[in-house]
């Protein structure tokens, strides 16, 4: 082994470690689904605050939650049947999934607690979810792709604004949280598609 061979071996190890570290499929199509729904659902619900119609309001809410849950479940199941990204770093993806599951699980728990313990606290539930999604997006931004950080900050800014003006929370969160999640999901899916085509291309003996 001479210096040149050692340098080449070291460069090879580093390039592979870098490639495998980047090859993460965070399955962010869930954010596309929920981002698109929130974009329409939250402003629509807010509109019915000013033009009361409980039946229409509940129909939109239940319809949005049911649509999102069904689509997320089906696409998640299809995606788990076969890895979408060959050679993906399943360990990092699982760690990221664990963190996101913690955020989403906390969101569900607090949604139940707000409903059960604070009468009249319901308007704060969308704000809670804005915060949960902002945290998820910033986490993905740190560990997956920094391109997603602005999306998370947009959702965070929307959440803060919604907290300042709770009566207009749906109108504020629809475009901020909805577009933030939608844009992040599209960016991530494009990145996964790009990584799918990438090979190290080294001629190995």
Partner 1 sequence: MNDHAHYDFDEVLMSRARLAILSALVSSGEMEFTAVRDLLGLTQGNLSVHASKLQQSGYLFIRKDFVANKPRTTFEITSQGRSALVAHLQKLKAILGEHP
Q: List residues binding partner 1 (CB under 8 A).
A: 1-4, 6-7, 9-10, 12-13, 16-17, 19-21, 23, 81-83, 86-92, 199-205
Cα gap 101→92, rounded to integer Å: 14
Output the smallest distance, CB 24 to partner 1, in A: 9
On whether the CB atoms of residues 180 and 158 are closer than 8 A, the answer is yes
Q: Using alpha carbons, select from 40, 85, 83, 98 the residue that is nearest to residue 65.
A: 40
Residue 166's alpha-carbon distances to 58, 127, 172, in angstroms, are 19, 8, 9
Angle, nearest 10°, between helix axes 54-81 and 29-50?
Answer: 180
Cα gap 176→170, rounded to integer Å: 10
Nearer to partner 1, 86 or 97 (CB): 86
Output the smallest distance, CB 99 to partner 1, in A: 18
Nearer to partner 1, 90 or 106 (CB): 90
Output the smallest distance, CB 28 to partner 1, in A: 19
Token pair 């409980």 in the structure block, residue: 54
Output the smallest distance, CB 191 to partner 1, in A: 16
Nearer to partner 1, 16 or 101 (CB): 16
Nearer to partner 1, 93 or 132 (CB): 93
Nearer to partner 1, 10 or 109 (CB): 10
Output the smallest distance, CB 70 to partner 1, in A: 23
Nearer to partner 1, 9 or 122 (CB): 9
Cα gap 150→163, rounded to integer Å: 20
What is the sign of the dihedral through the CA atoms of 84, 63, 110 and 108?
negative
Residue 170's alpha-carbon distances to 33, 56, 110, in angstroms, are 18, 16, 18
Output the smallest distance, CB 129 to partner 1, in A: 32
């Amino acid at each position: 082994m001479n210096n040149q061979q050692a340098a080449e071996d070291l460069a090879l190890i580093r390039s592979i470690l870098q490639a495998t570290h980047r090859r993460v499929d965070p399955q962010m199509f869930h954010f596309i689904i929920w981002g698109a729904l929130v974009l329409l659902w939250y402003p629509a619900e807010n509109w019915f605050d000013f033009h009361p119609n409980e039946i229409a309001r509940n129909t939109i809410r239940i319809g949005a939650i049911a649509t999102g849950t069904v689509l997320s479940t089906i696409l998640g199941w299809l995606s788990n049947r076969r890895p979408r990204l060959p050679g993906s770093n399943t360990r990092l993806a699982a760690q990221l999934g664990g963190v996101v599951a913690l955020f989403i699980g906390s969101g569900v728990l607090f949604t139940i607690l707000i409903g059960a313990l604070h009468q009249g606290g319901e308007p704060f539930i969308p704000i809670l979810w804005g915060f949960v999604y902002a945290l998820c997006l910033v986490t993905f931004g740190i560990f997956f792709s920094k391109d997603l950080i602005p999306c998370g900050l947009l959702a965070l800014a929307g959440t803060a604004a919604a907290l300042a003006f709770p009566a207009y929370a749906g109108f504020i969160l629809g475009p901020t949280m909805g577009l933030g999640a939608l844009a992040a999901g599209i960016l991530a899916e494009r990145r996964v598609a790009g990584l799918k085509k990438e090979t190290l291309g080294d001629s190995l003996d």
